[in-house]
Structures are given as C-alpha cells and as structure tokens.
Amino acid sequence: MTPITTSFFTQLRDLVFKRSGIVLTSEQEYLVEARLGGMARELGFTTGDGLIRHAIESGDDGLQVKIVEAMATGETSWYRDIHPFDLLKDLMLPELISRKADQQSLSVWSAASSTGQELYSVAMMLDYFFPETNEWDVRLLGTDLCESAISRAKLGIFSTLEMNRGLPAMMLAQYFTRREASFQISEEIRKRTRFQTLNLVHDWLPPSKFDIILLRNVLIYFDTPTKRQVLEAIWSKLNDGGYLLLGSTETTIGIADHIVPVQSSGATYYQKRGN
C-alpha cells in the first residue's frame, strides 16, 4: 500500500480519537500501512488515502468501526507482566476471599480484555489455587472496543504461537484441548466468563460494581483529559475495599491524585477505601 499522506493521517487520527479516545502520534504513521493495507486491498482501494477518504466522506459507520478497531492495539498474553498476577494470587484474592466468605461472591472486570487471555488467566487462577470459589457467585467480565477480539475471546481458541506467550505448562495440561493446530480452553472455564464489546470513552459502563478491575496498558493510548475521564469512571465501578490494577508504566499521579498508588512486591496497585 502506498504510504499514507500527512493530510489523510491527520483525518485518520481525528477519526480514531473521536470514536475511541485513542491518540495516534506522528511516530505511529508506520502502523497505518501495517494495519490498513490488507483492508484497503480487500475493499478495492489502491491507497490508504482512498480508504480513509471513502470512510469519512461516505459516513459508513461499519467501515469506520473496522478502521478504528484495526488501529486499536490488541496486544495481550497469558499472565502478562507476572508481578500483577503474583499480587492477585498472594494478596488480593486471599484477602477478598477471606473478607467475603459470608457473602460468597466475587467479581472481576478485565476492562480491555482483547482476545481474552487476561480474563481467562484470572479464571484459571481461581480454579487452580482457590477451588473453594467454584461454589461461589463469581462474575468474570471481559470487555473490549474491538468486536472481532470479543468474538475470539468467546470461542476461547488460540494458536500455538499465542499459547507459547506466557502460559504455564500446568495450565495448558489442565485447561486446554488441542484442536488441530490450535488449542481451546475448557468449557468449564469458558462458561464462568462473559465477554462483550464496550467503548470505555463513549459507552455506558456495566451497571454493577466489581471487587477487582484490570485496566492494564490502556491509559497510555489516551490524552490526559481522557485518562482522567476513564479513571474516574472506572473508580466509580469499584466496590469499597476493591482493587484496581493498571499497566506497569501507567499511573494516576497528576491525573487522579485521590486514587493513591500502593507498592508491593515490585508492582503497584490501588485500593478503594470505604468512607
């Protein structure tokens, strides 16, 4: 695909920001060719400029959504950045399970779940290390901007390459079945999760609150006002005593200073204290 011109990159950047809150920088122009080239050719466009012009001038909502989804980063892996998952296993889940023993309820929201590895990692951790919660009312919700990612998450089928990205051998042996060149996570784990599309910037957030919210490696794609908007909205969906996890390079400092970071075992988390 012919490299996109500056004027059309500006139009693409504005479209992506308007629909998702994601900020594309000039350093990311290389992503356009990599992510829109196949779509342009498939739809009969010889240039990326032509694809973007058509999407904007025609007002084709479906095409605009596809373009935004293509530009939204969907990078994920099993037990990504192991320190937060160590916190979950050693601190957060034991504390919540002890505190909520009478209620026997637990809720976790992966707010940018991509193809599901993060939420499935939590589901397997609960089953493997905390089997007593199998009798509890456990809600595991994964949401993402990208509809195709959510469709894949619901199927729970992953390529060999994806399986090799951080999945412990014990989890592979216990929770997956081989499907030709792919692997599918067990129905028992799948049925404990729910996935749906959701735009953190524009959509209504889930009506219920959660004990743990994972909003990891999302804020880095927003400008400061959007970061503040999303953080405040997410914080309002956290139960008193609940925990928030951000990405390792993300922070609330200077954005939402009332959300105070706590350091533990090489990782940072945030806990909502009751009034």
Residue 86: the pLDDT is 87
Residue 214: the pLDDT is 96
Asked whether residue 28 carries a pLDDT value surpassing 70, the answer given is: no
> Which option is the CATH number for 6-71: 1.10.3470, 1.10.10, 3.30.70, 1.10.155?
1.10.155
> Which option is the CATH number for 82-154+192-271: 3.40.50.150, 3.40.30.10, 3.30.2040.10, 3.40.50.720?
3.40.50.150
Domain ranges for the chain, please list them. 6-71, 82-154+192-271
| Helical segments of 43-198, H only | 48-58, 61-71, 82-87, 93-99, 117-129, 147-155, 160-163, 169-175, 187-190
Q: Residues 1, 33: contact at Cβ < 8 Å?
A: yes
Residue 77: the pLDDT is 59
220 or 142: which leads in pLDDT: 142
pLDDT for 139-167, tens place per residue? 999 999 888 889 999 999 988 878 776 67
β 210-215/238-246 pair status: parallel
Asked whether residue 78 carries a pLDDT value surpassing 70, the answer given is: no
**What pTM did the predictor assign?**
0.77
Poorest-pLDDT segment among 9-13, 156-160, 203-207, 236-240: 9-13
Residue 34: the pLDDT is 65
> Which pLDDT band holds residue 42 (cuts at 50, 70, 90)?
confident
Please report, as a single letter, which amino acid is at residue 193. Answer: T
Q: Residues 157, 163: contact at Cβ < 8 Å?
A: no
Mean pLDDT along residues 32-58: 74
Type and span of the H or E element at 39: helix 29-42
Asked whether residue 3 carries a pLDDT value surpassing 70, the answer given is: no
pLDDT for 86-106, tens place per residue? 899 999 999 999 999 999 999
> Which pLDDT band holds residue 53 (cuts at 50, 70, 90)?
confident
DSSP 3-state percent helix, strand, coil across the chain (nearest 5): 45, 20, 30
